[in-house]
Structure 1
Amino acid sequence: METNPISLIPADTTAPIYADTVLSERNQEINERAPQPVAKADRIQTIDLIRGFALLGILMMNIPGFGFLWTTLRTVLSKPEGPDFYAFTIVGVAFEGTMRGLFSMLFGAGMVLFTQNKQESENGPTVAEYYYRRLLWLVLFGVFNAYILLWFGDILFFYGLCGMLLYPFRRTKAAWLIGLAIACLGINTIRTELWYSELRSNRSGYLEAVALEKVHKKPTEKQKEAKAAWEKFEKNTKRDPKKEAKELKAMRGDYGTVFAHLLPRNSDDEIYGTYFGGWDMLLMMFVGMALLQWGFFANKLPTSTYLLTLLIGYGIGLPISWFYVKSEVTWLVHPTQVVDNFRTIPFQVYDVRRILLALGHASLLILIYRSNVVPWLMKSLTAVGQMAFTNYLMQSIICTLFFYGYGLGYYGKLAYHQLYYVVACVWLFQLIISPIWLNYFRFGPFEWVWRSLTYWKAQPMRRTLTTD
């Protein structure tokens, strides 16, 4: 006969011990139900894989900002030959905009997964509170990246702000999410067209004013204003040796000099980016949320679907991208030609081509992942993606120390194509270090800080059999 263990306890101690046991079990149950980071075993590997690819690709776009004097690019592109021109063209056609677009899609998908993987707890913060706390910390990390690490191209600040708008749409059907994405695309298109229309109007007013002045007639006030606006635009598109020398001197200075030089740029970029860049990011985030519902990122679709997406993405996206980059080169070298020859700015194809190419890249990665052709590379990319937050900030740390004056001081010293040697080195470093790190730890160091701040509790860092 089975003995009741409670009957063996003296009567005066049974109640408190039994109550403590029940309370302990209840607390354990609550703790298990409380929101917490996703365990490694529960992560969607293909999402981490694609995120890792996008994260490494973003450095290709960022590297000129870290170490190249942008105004000299017009001289580089003036002749369609040489390694610098080819590097610009290849990166532009295949990757420009698509890496950030892909990263934005995955950010939108990740925000949905964050809410889906959490259960409401009876005591303590709600899932919504954790969600917004997470994003507020992300905004502050963006400020840290821009003002402490001194990367003026930071995206964390904007992702945090845009992410706050996603929560009400977390359960929205995919078709409506695509509708919201199209609405964002429309707003972007209209705003760009209004800007370009004004630019063309200034160009027309400038030509009219010049024609009148040649025959010694006085232009109208409106024509004078248009002429002044166009001349200002033209001046900003031309090289200024004094301004370039000042830029080089500042960026090769000590930390305080670089900080003071970049302070107004960072402030302006955060205001401008919030106002103009938000629609761009929201567009891709909504697309990513829809793709998550359809199972695209989670490797749930048939191989034929990924193959068809690959063919459409590259088959249509690459020709459009080639047109875009050719127009971009013309714009950088001879902007007047674009204004005179195009009633609509050719850059309106930007978002369409990057969506197509992003889907093509993601489909290719998933097909390679399924084929198990290069498992070591897939594993490394997945690790990079799992540590994307750390690796993104690490790119800022490495590149600023390599290019800025308080580090090695290589700012403006490398040819355009040589910048990608630095990219390759950073890639190699992160592809090697990330899987090694994750063999011993559950998170990257910055992921650990972010999660600990989000849950306001230090998260277990070291890998154990019970936590993984």
Structure 2
Amino acid sequence: MNTPDVSATSSAAVAENLRPVERAERIRSIDVIRGVALLGILMMNIPYFGLPEGMLGSLKFDHPGDTNFITHQIVDIAFSGKMRALFSMLFGAGVILLTTRKEHAVGLSVADIYYRRILWMILFGVLDAYILLWAGDILYAYGLCGLFLFPFRKLAPRYLILASVFCFGVLIFKGNLRFQETKGKREAYLKVVALEKQKKKLTDEQKADKQAWETVVKNGKPDQKKIDEEIKKVRSGYPTVWAYYVPINSEIQSAVMYNFYFWDAIGMMFLGMALYKLGVFTGRLRRRSYLALMLIGYGIGIPLGWLAHQLTLEAHTNFGLYLDTYGFGFPRSTYDIRRVTMALGHVGLIMIIYKSGWLRGLMSALGAVGQMAFSNYVMQTLICTFIFFGYGLGYFGKLTYYQLFYVVAGVWIFQLIASPLWLRHFYFGPLEWAWRSLTYWKRQPFRIPQNRTETVISPAQAG
């Protein structure tokens, strides 16, 4: 695309420049990776759609070797957190894509378009959480993080990587701070128990120390009364479900957001911006480079994931002994290392398949899912709330952990079939179209003329 003479650019030309990305301009490899991430995210979300949180620990860990345990072990090591990491990276890559393609516009028009998109995303996130009632919504968090990304778009990859490492360092520090705080409660409790064995009278402070640890233990055990109450409420009508989730969503999008999600998401977004500039997502690297990425990523991520899973099992089995044995929180300290390495391993595998021309039909379908990621993400909320909540089929709490993944498979099949069919007739997914129309404050073309053909950018062209 040629860069126009800014001094001679008319307002009509500027309006033309500030158009949504044409399908012919899309980088298909990014759509494919986004499609994989979008489908993978449902694997993480489905337990929180279908089961009370208080049931999850016992289903995942109480019977080592059973189907629930094995299913969780595979999901935890290979996918949990990794798909969200990948999705966040691609959001960062999207920031570069959007702003560089509009960078020739006059004045602050690029910033104007960018922040319109972000502000609309925040609103969509609020609707997803408070109207569609999805407690795990990421649109709001992504929108808030997106507010901070624009000034960083021109940084060199090494500085973006450093910014990413800083964010992960904050998470490691905060996680271990919580670990040490809990460990301190345990140590204070053991001192009080020793005094009790010596028949010594406890002070009020020592009694409080004992109570603090007993509260930790109590909160770590399933509370059947609370589980039954949650099941009853979520299987009720919309007003009851809404009243139940509003305080949960408020806490998640405030305290949890600022303590965890912000650093988690923006750290991955910085990394995604760097990886896009390095050509990782666009297919500019050679296949042997992607092979190395896959082998190194899996070679680090899988062993660390297995070890973290074993330690988490130990903590679930006897949390007190776990704290007595270990001086720092290994699962939390290595969490982002595991996520990044496994996510990059997935990218390497996907790009090897894509560049080799294997599984063309599946790659095409995944690209369509990724192109409609916004619509498909919200569709997953609609499908799952209908299946599990009381104003739908009311299956909340009726399936065991591994059975939830039958639902995941069904949604995958539907979206892999429906997305390509939809894009044969329309330029965008329905929510993508609405988002673009609101961003440009102008109704965008929607239906594809029957005689029009489209192309996409191949990895070679992108390079």
Which TM-score tier does this pair reach, normalised by the shorter chain?
A: over 0.9
Kindly provide the CA deviation profile for residues 191-244 of structure 1, in whole angstroms up to 9, marking residues without a partner as x: 111111111000000111122123222345543333222111111111112111
* Structure 1: distance between partners of 2:23 and 2:375: 16
* Structure 1: distance between partners of 2:411 and 2:432: 19
Partner of 1:358: 343
Residue 137 (structure 1) aligned with residue 120 (structure 2):
yes
2:141 alignment partner, one of 128, 133, 158: 158
* Structure 2: distance between partners of 1:157 and 1:381: 25
Kindly provide the CA deviation profile for residues 289-315 of structure 1, in whole angstroms up to 9, marking residues without a partner as x: 110110000000111111111110111
* Structure 1: distance between partners of 2:223 and 2:359: 48
1:206 alignment partner, one of 186, 189, 213: 189
* Structure 2: distance between partners of 1:394 and 1:336: 42
Which aligned pairs between 1:140-219 and structure 2 lie closer than 5 A?
Answer: 140-219=123-202
Residue 48 (structure 1) aligned with residue 26 (structure 2):
no
1:323 alignment partner, one of 303, 307, 310: 307
Question: 1:74 touches 1:333 (CA, 8 Å); kept in 2?
Answer: no
Partner of 1:75: 58
1:29 alignment partner, one of 7, 10, 13: 13
Partner of 1:434: 419
Q: Identity percentage over the alignment?
A: 49
Residue 118 (structure 1) aligned with residue 98 (structure 2):
no
Deviation of 1:29 (Å): 2.8
Give the SS at the match of 1:458. coil
Kindly provide the CA deviation profile for residues 313-334 of structure 1, in whole angstroms up to 9, marking residues without a partner as x: 1111101111112222333343
Question: 1:138 touches 1:156 (CA, 8 Å); kept in 2?
Answer: yes
Deviation of 1:122 (Å): 4.4
Partner of 2:397: 412
Partner of 1:378: 363
Give the SS at the match of 2:144. helix
* Amino acid in structure 2 at the alignment position of 1:211: A
Residue 278 (structure 1) aligned with residue 252 (structure 2):
no
Unmatched tracts of structure 1, length 5 or more: 1-24
Partner of 2:68: 84
Partner of 1:447: 432
Residue 310 (structure 1) aligned with residue 314 (structure 2):
no
Kindly provide the CA deviation profile for residues 90-129 of structure 1, in whole angstroms up to 9, marking residues without a partner as x: 1111101100000010011101111111145448x61111
* Amino acid in structure 1 at the alignment position of 2:174: R
* Structure 1: distance between partners of 2:183 and 2:203: 18
Question: 1:158 touches 1:273 (CA, 8 Å); kept in 2?
Answer: no
* Amino acid in structure 1 at the alignment position of 2:366: L
Give the SS at the match of 1:164. helix
* Amino acid in structure 2 at the alignment position of 1:302: R
Kindly provide the CA deviation profile for residues 75-103 of structure 1, in whole angstroms up to 9, marking residues without a partner as x: 32212021111111111111011000000
Partner of 1:100: 84
Give the SS at the match of 2:148. coil
* Structure 2: distance between partners of 1:190 and 1:47: 33
Deviation of 1:27 (Å): 5.5
* Structure 2: distance between partners of 1:226 and 1:85: 35
Structure 1 stretch 383-392 or stretch 339-348: which is displaced more? Answer: 339-348
Partner of 2:282: 298
Kindly provide the CA deviation profile for residues 247-274 of structure 1, in whole angstroms up to 9, marking residues without a partner as x: 1100100001100011110111111232
Partner of 1:424: 409
Structure 1 stretch 317-326 or stretch 390-399: which is displaced more? Answer: 317-326
* Structure 1: distance between partners of 2:15 and 2:393: 48
Deviation of 1:466 (Å): 6.9
* Amino acid in structure 1 at the alignment position of 2:186: R
Partner of 2:460: none
Partner of 1:18: none
* Amino acid in structure 2 at the alignment position of 1:346: F
* Structure 2: distance between partners of 1:223 and 1:453: 60
Partner of 2:459: none
Give the SS at the match of 1:429. helix
Question: 1:135 touches 1:163 (CA, 8 Å); kept in 2?
Answer: yes
| Count of aligned positions | 442
* Structure 2: distance between partners of 1:138 and 1:219: 55
Give the SS at the match of 1:216. coil
* Amino acid in structure 2 at the alignment position of 1:416: Y
* Amino acid in structure 1 at the alignment position of 2:438: L
Give the SS at the match of 1:258. helix
Kindly provide the CA deviation profile for residues 377-425 of structure 1, in whole angstroms up to 9, marking residues without a partner as x: 0000000000000000000000000000100000000011100000000
Partner of 1:7: none
2:388 alignment partner, one of 403, 415, 418: 403
* Structure 2: distance between partners of 1:158 and 1:30: 31
Partner of 2:4: none
Report which of the two structures shows the higher radius of gyration computed on alpha carbons: 1
Partner of 1:345: 329
TM-score, with structure 1 as normaliser: 0.91
Structure 1 stretch 45-54 or stretch 221-230: which is displaced more? Answer: 221-230
1:367 alignment partner, one of 349, 352, 360: 352
| Residues 224, 129 of structure 1: alpha-carbon distance in 2 compared, 3 angstrom cutoff | farther
| Residues 250, 351 of structure 1: alpha-carbon distance in 2 compared, 3 angstrom cutoff | same
Unmatched tracts of structure 2, length 5 or more: 1-8, 455-463
Question: 1:51 touches 1:103 (CA, 8 Å); kept in 2?
Answer: yes
The RMSD of aligned alpha carbons is: 1.6
Which aligned pairs between 1:196-275 and structure 2 lie closer than 5 A?
Answer: 196-275=179-258
